[in-house]
């Protein structure tokens, strides 16, 4: 008997492939996977310090900081660097980017795990293909050798002959495994309501189990045939006679055992890697792991990792900038220059920044009241733009690392309010937070999420049929059950029970649930706020659960929720009310100092008087003022005051009004009409004359007239030479013409016009400005 060289080359190739796969799937690779995952936390700590050391010189080299250091002269770059590198301060700065760092760590861990699982799946697929190829070739060789040796003739075991005789067995194995996968898939579909409803977690479990059983069956069958046929070939070649009952061999068992062990390695890796994935990710993400592995390309995983790192770098950079700006402002004496040289202020580009929040008396009051309450509701009331949302988010730790003492959630009320939809949305978000925290009620949260998102329909059908020749007898029974949507009382009851269990679990860890409801004043129409409070207070009595709401004074007034002399929906629903007042002058300067380094005091006072101390308007005014300054062209205080007053006049002329009467009065603020009426100081009289003395038109006239008088007062004060003594005098709240009084008058316009006119008159008298006419009687 002779064997062709092609057959020998094929044999050698299969053997080399088997050795390569076995070597590639060795224990060293598996240990490397687990070592990388286990060391990710330590590597992140090292990466954090490296990132800080890398960014600090770059941030110190920012043009904004260089110019600030050059103007101030009170602190050097080396002093700033040393202050930032202090261990305690460095930890605080890096802690402000903890959310982004955690997201980066999760992304790195997820992409590494996904990459390793993808490689293990490729190796497992290669094992299956090599096993099928081995069975194919070995079976063909064995059958061909039996024929050659039985006839005792010289023959060549060609590749073509081997392929033809051994093809049936691997095809049979594939069909059996595919049939098992199909049956498992169908059984899952019939028995799992989640699969029929299209729930991603259930469909992923269906896919993994179906493919896993098929893989296991192929491994078992392949191990048996790999243990049989190669040893048959080896025995016949060794004894040079066909295999018969007398022939024996002892290698088959070892081949079978070795093959099973080889196929078990990927399964063990997948189990261990999946355990790491579950520890690094939330439940909702880890259950969709198989889908992402199948869909995301390697370059997309790398792109996600680069994006997460970029966000982390940006967060650390912003934290460094905030710290350095604050340090320069604290260690630099107040600047009283009446010329503004700052032409770029990156700190003003972000209106909402929780880490730049300046504490006010409302913060202290909220901390004190909430510490004395186990559960209930607190309302943050105040004018629009006073910083209620900022205070709510800071208290709930939304813009910084999650507080160890509470589980927080902040949701905004939609403009068009629907009680059922909002309660379902709140319920769904709460379930997400519980799952992310990994609490004991996470499984219940998953069930609630499925119930909220999917409407389940279950069907059951049974059929019986019997027949003989042309006669048949059949019976059929079908039952279909469709789950009805939850009613609003059922939703509230489920939410209360779930919140109660979650709050009690957190109470064992000395934690509590804090739920913030923001922008209650957005509900339209305004009277709907009363209905909202009446319905929401049904969940206010949950133990260890605190609700914090924000509502503007305008919404309370429009909805008539706080009439004098009787209790109303607001009083009965809210346990405590905290007033969020506008900023005083010193707090406003501190807030601006954290955004703009080295801002002179006269300009900060100008922004404060124009904004009325409202944080939102204060930052908007400062941003607009900086935009007027060109690089290398300092802007004087008088010119900047005129630009800002013109900006406000244009805004009033173009946006005020709505009905014909108010819009007609607002047109008086056009530049040409101001000039025709004798300037801004005489504009108020013209508006009063046009408005008349009675009705809503008169009230609108008084408001617009006061606006004109306020802008004229601001323009008159800040276009005169202001020295340090006059600024210090006006910064004293006890001075009748103080900046605080001028800002208060701006807030009183439109709500208390008589009081605003009186305040403006005292300010103008203190600065020796012309007397204002009284408001005509209505």
β-strand partners of 125 = none
Q: Which fold has domain 360-455+485-579?
A: Rossmann fold (3.40.50)
CA distances (Å), 630 to each of 71, 633, 639, 640, in order? 17, 5, 13, 12
Q: Using the structure block, give the residue that is written with the tokens 């943050």.
A: 380
CATH 3.40.50.300: which residues of the chain? 360-455+485-579
Q: How confident is the model at residue 491 (pLDDT cuts 50, 70, 90)?
A: confident
**Which residue has better confidence, 192 or 178?**
178
**What does the alpha-carbon distance between residue 445 and residue 424 come to, in Å, rounded to a whole number?**
13
Percent of the chain's residues with pLDDT above 90? 12
Could you report the per-residue pLDDT of 641-658, keeping only the tens digit for each? 999 999 998 888 886 545
Contact between 608 and 632 under an 8 Å Cβ cutoff? The reply is no
**Is the bond leading into 525 cis (omega within 30 degrees of zero)?**
yes
Q: How confident is the model at residue 57 (pLDDT cuts 50, 70, 90)?
A: confident
Burial group, residue 610, by CB count within 10 angstroms (0-12, 13-18, 19+): buried
**Which residue has better confidence, 630 or 70?**
630
**Angle at 492 (CA atoms; ends 486, 495), nearest 5 degrees:** 100
What does the DSSP 8-state code read for residue 630? B
Q: Is the pLDDT of residue 348 over 70?
A: yes
Q: Is the pLDDT of residue 15 over 90?
A: no
Q: How confident is the model at residue 156 (pLDDT cuts 50, 70, 90)?
A: low
CA-nearest of 756, 760, 612, 775 to 699 is: 775
Buried b (16+ CB within 10 A) or exposed e, 432-460: ebbbbbebebbebbbebbbbbeeeeeeee
Specify the range with the lowest mean pLDDT, choosing from 110-114, 506-510, 589-593: 110-114
Could you report the per-residue pLDDT of 715-761, keeping only the tens digit for each? 999 987 888 899 999 999 999 999 999 999 999 998 888 899 999 99
**Which residue has better confidence, 718 or 677?**
718
> What pLDDT was estimated at residue 467?
54
Q: Is the pLDDT of residue 20 over 80?
A: no
- Residue 503 has φ and ψ, to the nearest 5°, of -65, -40
> Is the torsion defined by CA of 520, 525, 526, 531 positive or negative?
negative
Could you report the per-residue pLDDT of 387-408, keeping only the tens digit for each? 888 888 888 875 444 455 688 8
Contact between 425 and 411 under an 8 Å Cβ cutoff? The reply is yes
Q: How confident is the model at residue 37 (pLDDT cuts 50, 70, 90)?
A: very low
> Is the torsion defined by CA of 579, 584, 588, 589 positive or negative?
negative
The two structure tokens encoding residue 530: 């009363």
The two structure tokens encoding residue 425: 């949305």
**What does the alpha-carbon distance between residue 546 and residue 374 come to, in Å, rounded to a whole number?**
7
**What does the alpha-carbon distance between residue 535 and residue 515 come to, in Å, rounded to a whole number?**
16
Percent of the chain's residues with pLDDT above 70? 70
Cβ-Cβ contacts under 8 Å for 95 (sequence gap 6 or more): 400, 401
Contact between 193 and 105 under an 8 Å Cβ cutoff? The reply is no
Whole-model pTM: value is 0.69
Residues constituting the chain? 778
**What does the alpha-carbon distance between residue 431 and residue 288 come to, in Å, rounded to a whole number?**
18
């Amino acid at each position: 008997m002779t064997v062709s060289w092609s057959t020998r080359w094929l044999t050698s190739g299969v053997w080399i492939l088997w050795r390569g796969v076995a070597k590639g799937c060795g224990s060293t690779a598996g240990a490397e996977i687990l070592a990388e995952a286990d060391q990710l936390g330590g590597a992140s700590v090292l990466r954090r310090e490296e990132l800080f050391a890398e960014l600090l010189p770059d941030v110190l080299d920012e043009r904004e900081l260089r110019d600030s250091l050059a103007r101030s002269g009170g602190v050097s770059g080396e002093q700033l660097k040393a202050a930032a590198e202090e261990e305690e301060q460095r930890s605080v700065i890096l802690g402000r980017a903890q959310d982004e760092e955690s997201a980066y760590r999760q992304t790195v861990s997820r992409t590494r795990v996904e990459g390793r699982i993808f490689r293990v799946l490729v190796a497992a697929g290669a094992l299956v293909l090599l096993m099928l190829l081995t069975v194919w070739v070995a079976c063909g060789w064995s059958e061909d050798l039996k024929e050659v040796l039985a006839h005792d003739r010289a023959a060549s075991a060609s590749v073509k002959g081997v392929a033809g005789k051994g093809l049936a067995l691997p095809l049979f194995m594939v069909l059996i495994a595919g049939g098992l996968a199909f049956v498992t898939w169908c059984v899952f579909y019939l028995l799992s309501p989640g699969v029929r409803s299209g729930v991603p977690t259930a469909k992923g479990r269906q896919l993994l189990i179906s493919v896993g059983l098929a893989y296991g069956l192929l491994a078992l069958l392949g191990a048996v045939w790999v243990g049989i046929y190669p040893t048959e070939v080896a025995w016949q070649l060794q004894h040079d006679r066909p295999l018969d009952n007398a022939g024996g061999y002892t290698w088959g068992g070892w081949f079978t055992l070795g093959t099973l062990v080889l196929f078990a390695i990927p399964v063990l890796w997948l189990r261990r890697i999946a355990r790491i994935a579950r520890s690094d990710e939330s439940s909702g993400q880890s259950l969709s792991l198989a889908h992402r592995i199948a869909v995301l390309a390697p370059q997309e995983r790398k792109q996600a990792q680069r994006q997460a790192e970029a966000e982390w770098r940006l967060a650390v950079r912003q934290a460094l900038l905030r710290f350095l700006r604050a340090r320069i402002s604290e260690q630099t004496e107040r600047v009283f220059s009446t010329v503004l040289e700052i032409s770029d202020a990156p700190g003003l580009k972000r209106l909402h920044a929780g880490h730049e929040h300046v504490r006010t008396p409302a913060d202290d009051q909220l901390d004190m009241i909430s510490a004395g309450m186990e559960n209930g509701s607190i309302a943050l009331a105040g004018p629009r733009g006073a910083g209620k949302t900022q205070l709510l988010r800071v208290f709930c730790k939304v813009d910084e690392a999650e507080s160890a003492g509470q589980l927080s959630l902040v949701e905004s009320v939609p403009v068009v309010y629907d009680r059922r939809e909002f309660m379902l949305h709140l319920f769904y978000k709460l379930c997400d937070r519980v799952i992310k925290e990994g609490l004991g009620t996470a499984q219940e949260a998953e069930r609630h999420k499925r119930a909220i998102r999917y409407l389940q329909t279950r069907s059951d059908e049974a059929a019986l049929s019997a027949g003989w020749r042309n006669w048949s007898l059949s019976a059929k029974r079908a039952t279909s059950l469709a789950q009805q949507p939850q009613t609003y009382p059922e939703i509230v009851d489920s939410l209360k029970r779930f919140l109660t269990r979650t709050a009690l679990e957190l109470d064992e860890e000395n934690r509590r649930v804090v739920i913030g409801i923001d922008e209650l004043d957005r509900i339209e129409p305004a009277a709907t706020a009363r209905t909202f409070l009446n319905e929401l207070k049904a969940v206010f009595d949950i133990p260890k659960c605190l609700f914090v709401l924000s509502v503007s004074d305008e919404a309370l007034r429009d909805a008539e929720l706080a009439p004098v002399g009787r209790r109303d929906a607001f009083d009965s629903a809210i346990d405590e009310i905290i007033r969020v007042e506008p900023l005083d002058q010193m707090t406003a300067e501190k807030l601006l100092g954290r955004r703009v380094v080295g801002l002179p005091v006269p300009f900060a006072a100008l922004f404060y008087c124009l904004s009325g101390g409202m944080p939102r308007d204060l930052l908007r005014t400062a941003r607009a003022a900086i935009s007027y300054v060109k690089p290398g062209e300092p802007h004087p205080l008088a010119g900047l005051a005129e630009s800002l007053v013109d900006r406000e006049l244009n805004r009033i002329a173009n946006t005020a009004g709505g009905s014909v009467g108010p819009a007609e009065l607002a047109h008086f603020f056009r530049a040409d009409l101001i000039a025709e009426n004798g300037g801004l100081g005489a504009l108020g009289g013209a508006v009063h004359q046009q408005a008349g003395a009675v009705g809503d038109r008169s009230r609108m006239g008084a408001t617009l007239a006061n606006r004109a008088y306020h802008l004229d007062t601001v323009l008159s004060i800040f276009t005169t030479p202001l020295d340090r003594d006059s600024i210090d005098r006006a910064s004293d709240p006890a001075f009748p013409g103080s900046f605080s009084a001028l800002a208060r008058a701006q807030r009183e316009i439109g709500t208390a016009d008589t009081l605003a006119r009186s305040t403006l008159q005292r300010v103008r008298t203190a600065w020796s400005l012309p007397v204002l006419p009284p408001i005509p009687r209505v």
